[in-house]
Chains A and B, each alone.
Chain A
């Protein structure tokens, strides 16, 4: 298989995620774009697990990519860790978004004031 295909797919997905984070005003859509970026990183981890543990035929072997030095499966383990972190991130992020909606009746990121505390609306 040619590992350049999943690598390029992951790069494009990461670019789409950055575009979504910068473009969207709705906080939930921003969280969806962040999920796209995290998935791109996961795809890179899993692909690197394949491409670095294989024998690298036809490529000059880098010092960090010796076949046999890396234990197979490490990329998958790291991807699992990232999935767990993403689940925790979505849980806390949605709690914040829902609390903000309860206070202001809005989910627009531009409306969040970062300076000082204004009048508090009773939750």
Chain B
């Protein structure tokens, strides 16, 4: 057990624990706040694994933007502040499929990688990631920019009631 192992274990426990609270909490807003904790712990895992830029992008995009957007939607749909009773379906199929999938994948990974010690990750720099993106991955990068643009246009079209609305019969 090295320092990196202890950090990975602690952050992983936090991520899985708050992730479990995200999918079991009866409060809508608390689910979103537990999601912040889980995503932050995953950002810490990225830091320990040497992917520094990915960690900061995770904090910026996920914790900063995506969770705020989700909480914004929770508020806009007039979610109750207290606990809600009707959030869940019957548990048995979800427990069977989700638990089976999680446990199966965990056993698969544990069997594939065993308790083998790997050399510490060298901290990646933004410079190296930039060389990668604009070298080998420049075509997917451009395609993703087009996809972001179309998602933006799609979201605007979806949320404007006057675009693509059918004319009402009795005008």
Contacts and interface: CB of A to CB of B under 8 A. Distances in A.
B91 to A, nearest CB: 6
Main secondary structure of the interface of B (DSSP, over half): helix
Interface of B: 2, 4-5, 8-9, 12, 15-16, 19-20, 22-23, 28, 31-32, 35, 38-39, 42, 45-46, 48-51, 53-54, 57-58, 61-62, 65-66, 69-70, 72-74, 76-77, 79, 84, 86-89, 91, 93-95, 97-103, 105-106, 108-110, 112-121, 124, 128-129, 132-133, 136-137, 140-141, 144, 147-148, 151-152, 154-155, 158-159, 161, 165-166, 168
B3 to A, nearest CB: 9
Interface residues of A, number: 80
A94 B118 contact: no
B23 A46 contact: no
A36 B38 CA distance: 8
A74 B135 CA distance: 11
A123 B165 CA distance: 9
Given A9-B16, A25-B89, A58-B116, A1 B8 contact: yes
B110 A8 contact: yes
A18 B35 contact: no
Interface string A1-38: 11111111111111111111011111011011101100
Given A11-B106, A23-B94, A32 B31 contact: yes
